[in-house]
Structures are given as C-alpha cells and as structure tokens.
Chains A and B, each alone.
Chain A
Amino acid sequence: MLLSSEFLAELLLLAPLAGAVLVWLPKAWAARTGDDVVNRLQDYITTGTSLASLVLILMIAGISHGALRFRVGFMEFYLDSLSVFFLLLVSLVAFVASCYAGPCWARRSGTGALDRTLFYSLFNLFHFTMVLVPMVSNLAVLWIGIELTTVTSTVLVASERSREHFEAAWKYIIITSTGIIFALLGTLFLASAIPLDKYPHPSMSWPDLVGLARDLDPNLVRLSFLFVLIGYGTKAGFAPMHTWLPDAHGQAPYPVSALLSGVLLKSALYAILRFFTITNAALRDGGLFTSHMLLGTGLISLVVATPFILKQNPFKRILAYHSLEHMGIITLGIGIGGPIALFGALLHVLNHGVTKSLMFLAYGNIQDNYPSDQATGPAEPGREGVLRAMPWTGSCLALGGLALVGSPPFSIFLSEFLILWGAVAKVIVQPTVWLAVSIVVFLLSVTLIFGGLIRHLSRILLGKPPDHVRAERPRQVIPLLSLLVVVVVLGLVIPDSGPIDLRRLLEESIVIVCGSEGCR
C-alpha cells in the first residue's frame, strides 16, 4: 500500500532534512532573481517542509495502530504511540515556529548575524534531529540524535553573534555536552547489565531491552538510570543542571527559543521515559527507585525555579525559568506514577510545549515591532502598553500567560489538576512523606508563580506604548491564534475523534511507559 505507516514515517524523516538541503538551491539564483525572491523561496521551503511534517504525523497517528518497526539502510526505527505523541508535539511547534523564522531573521540580516541561508538550513536540521529522536529504536542511536540536537541548536543560539549570544551558546554546549557524556555512560552501563551468557548477541534496541529487562543486573541498571537522569536531565533542564537554560532560551532568536523550550526539553524527557520503563521492568520494585529519583528531581526544579520567576528579570529569562518549573511538574507527575498522574504528566508535555511556544512567539512579535532597543534591562523600559499598541499579540500574550500559570479553562490547568489528583489519590492509598511534601511544594510554588507572572505580564501589557510601534501583520498573528485555539480546546476536552484521537494516544503511551509491571 502506497500510504503505509512505514512509508509516511520515512517521509516524515525526510521532510525537514530535504528542507535543510533545498534552502541552498535558491541561493544559486541570487544574481538573477535578487535577494528578496531568494529569501521568500527559502521561507516557503522551510514553512512548507514543516507543514508537510505536521500533515504526515497526523496521517500516521490516524492510521497506525500498535508498534511499527522498520529499517532504513542499516538503521532501525521504532514507532509506537509514545513516539507518535512526541512527534506530534515536535511537528506542531516546528511548523508554527517556522512561520516566524523568515520574519525574525529578516530583521537581523546585516547586523553581523549568521548568513540567512545557513540559519534556515540549521533551523531545518534542528527540526530533523528532533524528529529523529523519538523514531529511533536503538538507545545508543537515540543518544546520537540528542547529541546532534546540541550541535545544531548551539549554532542557532549564537546565531546573532554578539558577546551575550556567544556566552549563552558557550554555557549551553559546555554544560549539556558534559551532561550528554553521563547519558552515554548510562547507556553503556545498561549494555553491560545484559547477561552475555544468556544473550550472546545483545541488542540496544528498546523493545529488545524491555523484553530481556528481567534478566538485567539490577545494580548496573540503577547506576545506568542515575547517569541517564543526570545526563539527559541536564538537557531537559532539570535543576541543578539547568544553569544553561535561562541564558540559551533568553538569547536565542525567538522561533529557536520556542523550539528549545517547547520541544527540545521534551526530547530529552522522552529519552528518560524510555530508560524509566526498562529500569522499572528490571528492578521489579513497583517503580519505587525511579519514583524517588524523579520526585526528588521534580521537587528541586520547582523549588529552584520559583524565586527566579518572582525576580525582576528580562521576560524571556522568566519564560525560561517557567520551563524549569513545568519540567519539574512533569517529572513530579511521572514520579508520582499511577495512571492518572502519568496521564496528566504526558498531557502536560503537550500543553506546556504549545503554551510556551505561544509565549515565546508572541514576545518575539513585540521584539520585532517595538522600536529597537531600549529593552534589555531587567525592567525592560519601553516595552509597555502592548495591549494598546499590538492588541492581537497582546491578547495572545495575556491569555497565554494565564494558561501558563495554570488558570482554568486553559490546557495547563487540566494537566496540573490531573497530576494533583493523581498525587492525592495515591497519598490516600499509600501515604508517604515524599508524596505529601510533593503536594505541598507543588501547590505552594504554583500559587507563588501565578502571582509572579501576572505582575510581569501587567508590566508589559498595560501602560502607554512608545511611539513608532509597527502595526501587527496577519502573518504575525494567525499562527499565534491557532496555538491559542489548541491551548483553549485542550483545556476543555481531550479530543478522541477528528484529525487525531489524542485520548487513545495518551492511554497507549501510558501502557508503554508503565511496561509489563503496570502502573501502580
């Protein structure tokens, strides 16, 4: 059959890679057509391939049931509901961010920034690496995928080539590449945990490892999970390894910030989830070991993020600290365990990815349209009165902000409520100090952060705008509105019909994450 899941999955991999190559073609015609036409073509290619990715993943989600295992050359790919769920997030955010790549870079051309073609190409390559991660079957290749995201995104973070941008890129690559070494060692320890007398031809393929998990050496599996949590946790932005996050997210061009915060952090979380399943199946302790580790990580992230969100900081840094908070909440949800909290945690992955992209892109509109640039200091003078000067963007920022702090009826409220419900349900059945502390810290930090962000937002949204603010264009507003629709719809209902059966996808993902041990 022409439109088999396998064929669509191959196209899904190919689309952003093709985009990365194709953007170089129009440059060859620059002498004949002029830069404007070249840039427009590159813009169409980038947006077009991202849209193709989104359509392809929606088609795959619609027709595929069960796991799909296939080979392209010597590489094995594995696509189950968990992969499809993460790919959906990658493709959605990448498409919306790609709509802003062209306009964002147009304003930065001629300022010593990276060549525009190279920027487009790297943007597509970065997209490709994030598509690759949830599709590979082999855990060592998964590591290569995550490591490639670092290489491409580092150049994008520094793409404006100023002192601050290089500093942010430096911290990003030094800290995450140190972390990634831990992750490879964790993968290697897992390989060493395979009993070679029983399995003389071991494989690092995830489904194979899940199959033989009961025979793995438990001590090495524990060490492996610890290293993987530190390693991929550095990339996921967990505290205390998060120090690169506010700098990189704060300095990157805003479509890249949207990808970093909305998707890249989750790619690392995806890797942790794959090891989580194997570890639980190997230890057969009812998920106690992983639960303690993840609860601890989540709590530290929440506690560290809160004061920085309350502080007067540039707005993009505040958004970055929000990512730390939300990654903490997701980790807490996985650590709490049980079907309700896990459902909430996975839903929160999607909700946070979409909402945070909305916020970064809306703020990017403000950066582009406000006169440049009195606006780098902590109080960001000159960036006031957005609601009056840019009513559409201002409204999206206001509603997105309310969604981000967990107000009803937006999507994050629903997922946070589910995590809390899961925690309370568990504490009633199995009361532990850890769980009780988690609930208290969770509630306290969410309440404090609510007040903090509202204060920051009112500073930007209200007041008198400066003169000469450029008017919003439809292209700046329509993608934001579409993200806002997703944020509102997901707050009211988990779709189980239409283009995608999200409920089924989430339920199947929970079964995959819980593994043979089941969720307790």
Chain B
Amino acid sequence: MPGDGLIQQLVTLLSYLMVIMALLISASTTLKQMVTLYQAQSWVLTFVVLLTSLESEQTRLAVALLALLPAALALAVAPLLGRASLIRALPDDQRNPGPSGLRARAAELRDSLRNAPARADLIWLQHGHSRLRRGPSAAIDMMLIATAVLVAYRLARGVEGKLALDSEVVPSLAVTIALLLQGLFTMSNKRDIIAQVIGLLVIEHGLFLAAVRIAPSALAFLFVASLFFYVLVTLTILLWILPELHRASASIEVIDNSRLSG
C-alpha cells in the first residue's frame, strides 16, 4: 500500500513515545501524574493500533477493533481508579453485600463513578511515591530500556546472519519488552496499590502493541481475541478486587495490605 513506509515510521516514533511515557510514569511522584500520563499513553497506543490497521488489508477490521481496548481504558481508567481510591472502610458489623439486583448495582456503580477523578484528586496528590529515590529509579529504568533494545536486536540478528524477524518488527519488539520491564519495575517500586495497577496496565500496553505489531498478520485476529479476554482480568481488578481491598483495609498503601506473611 502506498504510504506504508510513512506509516511505519510514524508507528515507530509513537512506540518510542510510549516508552518515554512509561519512563515518566515510573518517575512520577503523585498518582495524579501517573493517571494522566497513563491516559496519554493509552491514546498514543490507540493511534498506533489504528495506523497499523491501515497497513494490512487482510486483518484491518480485527486490528482496528483492538483500538477499542486502549481507547476504552483511556476513558475508563481514571473514574475506575478514582472510585477505588475513594471507597471508605466500614466496620465489619456495618458491611453488607450491597444492593441486590443488577439494575440497583449498575445505578450504584454509575453514582460512584460520577466525578470520581475530581473527588479523588486530593488522595492522588498524596500518594504515588516510590521506594527508591528519583536518581536510582531513573537509572534502573534506563538500564531496563537498554536491556530491551539489546535483546530485541540480538534476536533480530538471528543465527548465521539470517534475519529472524522482519526489520520493521524489531523496534516494536524492543518497545514491547521495554514496557514489560518498566511496568514490572513500576509495580515493585511504588508504595501504593493504585500505582501497582497502573504498572500492570503499562505492561498490558506492551502486550497490545506486540499483538498488533509482532504477531504474523494471519494470526493477528487470534491474538486480538485473546486480548479481549484479558480485559476480563483487568475489569475484575478495577471493578471488584481493588475497591474491596481498599474498603476492607481502609488504606491504599502496600504496607497496610501485607498482613499475610510467613
């Protein structure tokens, strides 16, 4: 298709931008910054997916459909994380399973999501700190990015000089591995469970990118379908476990949610 080269270059550029955003997410000192940067990263990924869908006629629809996922996450993540941050603990004797009936539960969810990011502002400004200081954090992040690039290019060289991967796939592979490692680092370096979820969502972005950029186009639909199932896990975390854990422990700090040990 004419213009494929341009699309390719644009996609590569945007992928690098995602790595820079992951770096900034990791370096953020407040949850508010993290959420904003994550939303921006989701929009960039949406754009990357849409551009990729233009490249292949065969799987255009399947790949374009995948753009729904990062776009939906970009829109929904702030209210969902806001709701989880706002939930207040109730004493055991006042706890109840909540309203019964699907309609009542949906109404309750809608109410709790309304203006949640704005209402959670203060909490988000107070949390999001890292265990390590900025300098060592940034150094580790840079090292992880370098490792990702090295692994990707080492793989691309293949055996006996034969290319194992198409050259245009290599930057995407490097970005995928970088997002994976940066997300893992964010999860382990942050002190609160909301930030840990954002780390997981960054890893998820790497997976989305890999599904549309690395998978053979004939199998793209299969991997895209897998990602739609993966969203079930994300929803279980965002809609149920995270708010309930906060409600039960009255804290979003990792240290307050680490009673089980030994």
Contact = CB atoms under 8 A, between A and B. Distances in A.
A170 B247 CA distance: 13
B6 interface: no
Contact of B164 (A196, A220, A251): A220
Contacts of A55: none
Interface in A178-211: 178, 180-182, 184-185, 188-189, 191-194, 196, 200-202, 204
Interface stretch (B8-16, B128-136, B211-219): B211-219
B222 A162 contact: no
A169 B155 contact: no
Nearest to B232: A151
A107 to B, nearest CB: 18
B176 A185 contact: yes
Given A140-B226, A150-B233, A164-B260, A177 B169 contact: no
B236 A151 contact: yes
A184 B237 contact: no
B92 A112 contact: yes
Contacts of B206: 181, 185
Interface in B196-237: 196-197, 200, 203-204, 206-207, 210-211, 214-216, 218-219, 222-223, 225-226, 229-230, 232-234, 236-237
B233 A180 contact: yes
A284 to B, nearest CB: 13
A220 B155 contact: yes
A147 interface: yes
B262 A378 contact: yes
Contacts of A218: 159
Interface residues of A, number: 59
A251 B260 contact: yes
Interface string A127-155: 00000000000101001100110110011
B207 A184 contact: yes
Interface in A196-241: 196, 200-202, 204, 217-220, 223
A173 B236 contact: yes
A105 to B, nearest CB: 14
Interface string A51-86: 000000000000000000000000000000000000
Contacts of A143: 226
A144 B232 CA distance: 11
Contacts of B155: 219-220, 223
Contacts of B207: 181, 184-185
Contact of A196 (B159, B216, B226, B230): B216
A114 B207 CA distance: 33
B216 A192 contact: yes
Contact of B248 (A163, A174, A246): A163
A169 B241 contact: yes
A173 B241 contact: yes
Contact of B244 (A161, A171, A217): A161
Interface string B139-162: 000000000000100010011000
A169 B225 CA distance: 26
Interface residues of B, number: 53
Contacts of A378: 262
B232 A148 contact: yes
A167 B260 contact: yes
A27 B164 CA distance: 57
A177 B259 contact: no
Contacts of B257: 167, 170
Contacts of A148: 229, 232
Nearest to B235: A151
A219 B230 contact: no
Contacts of B59: none
Given A112-B92, A167-B257, A378-B262, A204 B241 contact: no
A504 interface: no
A250 interface: yes
B168 to A, nearest CB: 13
A450 interface: no
Given A140-B226, A163-B248, A170-B241, A181 B258 contact: no
Contacts of A164: 259-260
Interface in B93-141: 95-97
A174 B254 CA distance: 13
B54 interface: no
Contacts, number: 150
The majority secondary structure among interface residues of chain B is: helix
Which of B169, B196, B219, B230 has most chain A Cβ within 10 Å?
B219
Contacts of A140: 219, 222-223, 225-226
Nearest to B151: A223
A188 B214 contact: yes
A440 to B, nearest CB: 27
Contacts of A144: 225-226, 229
Contacts of A185: 176, 180, 206-207, 210
B73 interface: no
Given A184-B230, A378-B262, A163 B196 contact: no
A298 to B, nearest CB: 23
B95 A112 contact: yes
A182 B242 CA distance: 22
Contact of A188 (B164, B210, B242): B210
Given A170-B241, A184-B230, A311-B262, A220 B165 contact: yes
Contact of B215 (A161, A180, A192, A246): A192
A112 B165 contact: no
Contacts of A313: 262
B203 A178 contact: yes
A196 B176 CA distance: 22
A247 B184 CA distance: 21
A148 B262 CA distance: 29
B31 to A, nearest CB: 17
Interface string A506-518: 0000000000000
B193 interface: yes
A317 interface: yes
Contacts of B225: 140, 144
B245 A166 contact: yes
A519 to B, nearest CB: 26
A305 interface: no
B159 A219 contact: yes
6 closest residue pairs by CB, A with B = A163-B248, A166-B245, A247-B260, A217-B164, A177-B233, A166-B248
Interface of A: 112, 114-115, 138, 140, 143-144, 147-148, 150-151, 154-155, 158, 161-164, 166-171, 173-174, 177-178, 180-182, 184-185, 188-189, 191-194, 196, 200-202, 204, 217-220, 223, 246-247, 250-251, 308, 311, 313-314, 317, 378
Given A147-B230, A185-B207, A246-B260, 4 more contacts: A114-B97, A171-B260, A178-B200, A202-B218
16 contacts: A112-B95, A148-B232, A151-B232, A155-B236, A167-B258, A177-B233, A178-B187, A181-B180, A181-B203, A184-B207, A184-B223, A185-B206, A191-B215, A191-B216, A204-B222, A217-B164
